[in-house]
A = this chain, B = another copy of it.
């Protein structure tokens, strides 16, 4: 541990990219791997992932979604059967050899599993009594992108859940799309404390082969980039047609099912790091912190170290009994000061220090990671105080992030304003004619080193669009307010 580089060498506002790499490695979340775009997820990451998974699993169990595991591999025939492969084709990794033998036909590593799954929907779904059909799997996904990879955010392998559902009616499908989207919003806002907008993707940005895509969209002020947080797609009947997924209704009439698919990934963890991290390292929202409270003994020279250790133990015990994730750092080869830095780097929300004076006063000192605020708390009131503090940190992180995000929003009405806001790294809200050709045109006109601008989403929560408002890009009548910007 002495070799762990403590402290950050770059500041978040100076060199954001380097800061990000440093914080995820130094906090022991992730390790770079010898294949570009692949990363090792360490316990500090996996425990956050597990905490989110626990929430999401419980929610989809209520919806009667069933657990499945579909194969990693997809045949070329099936993958290429459908329109939507075009969206993924350049990124598909192909297995062509086993041992020293060439395979008869190359086999794809799943970039998403619609094509692996839906031929079997066609087999399993027969009657209206089989509907709704709901399945989900937690698995790894491979997209061999050649744009520059960013840990968590854009990696060649990542972990996700993918839900696939089928309904008798469009109404049911529509309703589920929004129900799932709300769960994704809650993961971002209530767990990761990252503000997001719910909205609908443009025709250009929607899931290839689907009917419409909804998403939660986050924004990274430091880079001025939007980031798609998670997507909930209504696939309509397109895949049902391709794979012949039909059901017989009460009267024996055969109809195509309506389908959805929805996913969120380990990317969410990267967004959380970018949002809350600071110049001391990671800052974790209490709800996803593997350790919420770290207890550190502070023995001075003549102190009763046994009594201090005892007080630390009982503090951890009391907090654990109350359902709070607390741990003791009792290592004797590090100074308290080193430990403070270490756990600040790892983003633990609260630090409790117990020294001789605390012991004498029957109190503990509590220090907040997010703002450094210190307080001496009577040991008797410990649990209650810690609960209030953890809730407070969770709220503060969200509110601070929201204010920062909101201050980046720029409402523009003209092309010139748009270009200026884009250069200023703003999250741009603009009236738009909602035409694919116009989005293509905007992309073409904003091409450059930083990447082109595109739509992020058309938020569900629409400001008034007064009559006569025109599209910022085409001058045609505007149909919606949409978010635009560069994105990850």
Contact = CB atoms under 8 A, between A and B. Distances in A.
Given A34-B119, A127-B1, A140-B139, A68 B95 contact: no
Contacts of A47: 67
Given A35-B107, A99-B144, A43 B71 contact: no
Interface in A127-149: 127, 129-130, 135, 139-140, 142, 144, 146
A119 B119 CA distance: 41
A91 B99 CA distance: 5
B92 A98 contact: yes
Interface in A37-83: 38-43, 45-47, 50, 66-75, 78
Interface string A424-451: 0000000000000000000000000000
Interface in A2-60: 2-3, 31, 33-35, 38-43, 45-47, 50
Given A43-B68, A72-B140, A90-B99, A1 B129 contact: yes
A120 interface: yes
B3 A159 contact: no
Interface residues of A, number: 62
Nearest to A248: B2
Contact of A129 (B42, B96, B156, B333): B333
Given A127-B1, A129-B333, A139-B140, A69 B41 contact: yes
Most buried by B among A3, A72, A74, A89: A72
Contacts of A331: 129
Interface string A89-110: 1111111111110000011010
Interface string A191-214: 000000000000000000000000
A309 interface: no
Interface string A151-182: 00000110100000000000000000000000
B98 A96 contact: no
Contacts of A116: 33
Contacts of A46: 66-69
Contacts of A72: 38, 109, 140, 142, 157
A150 to B, nearest CB: 16
Nearest to A139: B140
A357 B371 CA distance: 69
Given A89-B99, A94-B98, A35 B73 contact: yes
Contacts of A99: 89-92, 144
A126 interface: yes
A127 B4 CA distance: 12
Contacts of A109: 72, 95, 109
Given A1-B130, A35-B107, A68 B41 contact: yes
A94 B98 CA distance: 6
Contact of A31 (B41, B73, B106, B120): B120
A349 to B, nearest CB: 20
A368 to B, nearest CB: 27
A97 B98 contact: no
Nearest to A57: B50
A50 B71 contact: no
Most buried by B among A3, A99, A140, A159: A99
Nearest to A38: B71
A108 to B, nearest CB: 10
Given A2-B126, A35-B74, A98-B146, 17 more contacts: A1-B127, A1-B129, A2-B127, A3-B126, A35-B71, A40-B70, A43-B68, A43-B135, A45-B69, A46-B68, A50-B67, A69-B159, A89-B99, A90-B98, A96-B96, A96-B97, A109-B109
16 contacts: A1-B129, A31-B120, A34-B119, A38-B71, A40-B70, A41-B69, A43-B66, A45-B69, A46-B69, A71-B157, A72-B157, A94-B95, A95-B95, A96-B96, A97-B106, A129-B333
Interface of A: 1-3, 31, 33-35, 38-43, 45-47, 50, 66-75, 78, 89-100, 106-107, 109, 116, 119-120, 123, 126-127, 129-130, 135, 139-140, 142, 144, 146, 156-157, 159, 331, 333
